Structure 1
Amino acid sequence: MAYWTVIGRGNAGETEGKAFGLTLDTDQKTWIAAGPDVDLFFISKSGSYSVIADAVYGEGTQLKNSSAKVAGFLENLTGATAVGDSGNGFALEKGETFRWTLDSQ
């Protein structure tokens, strides 16, 4: 099994500096969100994900909830992303933006 571990930190408003973690199972194409402030960012805490490139979201990793609706997006998180790389993201369910860092893979 292979996993990506992502650390997210809010970058604006009431979530500024607040943290959560994402674990992406790259074999099963699933994700789980956890951490001290995860409820500020996500209603859904798990689902499926895919790496996409489209006109709306750009290139990155799209997180979907159990209803197959987009729960979040991590810009530029792709199979070519290296440990230590970072970028921007957004949690659609709560309307929050954040910075992410790839902690391990």
Structure 2
Amino acid sequence: MIRFLFRFVGLWVLAGAFVALVLDGVRSIASSEIVTTPLGVTWLAVSPESLARFQAFIERSLSSTVWSYLVVPVLGAPLFAVLGIAGALLLLIGRRPNAA
């Protein structure tokens, strides 16, 4: 049951990555240059208070160095790449074991 849940959520996350890729592609064609939307910009547009709470949590629990050197680069990565990697990892976690 848990594997099914990982696969199900993984497919939805991959679908979100595909939608983000198509939107970036449309914007790139319209502007005649490559345009990508960073994860941080999308998160800030959707829920700025949760991003601020997440930053405070990371800086309080771990360190401001972790925020600066680990989280900020991920927030600057293209949304389709982050969602694609997360979806692929969820699908790998939820895959069926090999029958030997």
Instruction: For CA contacts below 8 A with separation 6 or more, give which structure has more relative contact order.
Output: 2
* Larger Cα-atom Rg: 2
TM-score by length of 1: 0.24
Report which of the two has the higher share of helix: 2
